[in-house]
Amino acid sequence: MSAADHKGISTWQYFVGTVTYEKATSLRKREDKDGIQPSGGDTTEGSRTRICMSDSKLKLTIELVPSNWGINLANMLKEKKWNEIRKKMLDKYENKCAICGSVERLCCHEKWKYDDQRHIQKLTGFIILCSLCHGVKHIGRTEGLAKKGKLDYEIYVKHFMKVNNCDRSTFEKHRNAAFKEWEERRKYTWNMDFGRYKGYLGKGVVDWLGDLQNFMKKVEPRLRKQDTTRKVRIKRKKTKRTENASQK
């Protein structure tokens, strides 16, 4: 999932992500074959230390993707190919969450590595997560759904504290740091690297993704500026309404 999961998603990010998905879906249906099998083994898991003294020692962490316009391998692949990956991961993690061990509502989560110097986000592998751990990973989306009354946000906070054996302040500190990092990263246009899984996509999709990324490098700075201006305008209007209401 992307940082578009965060409550601050802008209209243009949603639009581009939707177009991206529809275009990729159309291209993949025209591929004659399923694609090339990727090479290499699976990536290893992160730290499993339970003592919450720093983010590097947290067992369950928050992950916010800076910007990928709605793109991920799951919605780019044919269902058959994605199910192959998911089945392989379920077997690897013995049909349970790799973080908390739950067997309820399991999903296959993409793992990304970020190069903050060259602004490249690379897909390094997958991990099986339960719905609660997955909801913590994408806490921005979880917060948004909670505000709409579709879920109980506190359940995810408590799950984070239970898995990491920590208190509320540790969660808040980690959450704030995650969003601060996301805000910094989203200032740049990121290139997506699907690594050894690139062969699954097919040449048509890969070429189109390259064209899209080159296009976004040119237009994203202007769109981001427009988005910032819009948010400032909205904030001013809210402030003015509040002042007018207090004077009555």
| Residue 132 forms part of a structural domain | yes
Instruction: Note the pLDDT tens digit of each residue in 29-86.
Output: 443 333 322 222 333 333 333 334 456 689 999 998 876 556 778 877 888 889 999 9
| Residue 247 forms part of a structural domain | no
Tokens 């192959």 belong to which residue? 84
Query: Between residues 210 and 117, which one has the greater pLDDT?
Result: 117
Residue 143 vs residues 79, 123, 157: alpha-carbon distances, Å? 29, 25, 10
Q: Which among 45, 247, 80, 56 is positioned nearest to 164, based on CA atoms?
A: 56
Residue 17 reports pLDDT greater than 80? no
3-state helix, strand, coil in the chain (%, to 5): 55, 10, 35
| Residue 65 forms part of a structural domain | yes
| Residue 7 forms part of a structural domain | yes
Report the alpha-carbon distance of residue 19 to residue 50 in Å, rounded.
42
Residue 170 vs residues 50, 52, 62, 133, 181: alpha-carbon distances, Å? 13, 7, 12, 16, 17
Query: Between residues 119 and 47, which one has the greater pLDDT?
Result: 119
| Residue 136 forms part of a structural domain | yes
Task: Please tell me the total count of domains within the chain.
Answer: 1
Domain extent at residue 160 = 3-240
Helix axes 153-164, 168-185, angle to 10 degrees: 110
Helix (H) or strand (E) holding 158: helix 153-164
Instruction: Note the pLDDT tens digit of each residue in 89-116.
Output: 999 999 999 999 999 999 999 999 999 9
| Residue 246 forms part of a structural domain | no
| Residue 52 forms part of a structural domain | yes
Q: Which amino acid is at 222?
A: R
Does the predicted TM-score (pTM) go above 0.75? Answer: no
| Residue 235 forms part of a structural domain | yes
Helix (H) or strand (E) holding 109: strand 107-115
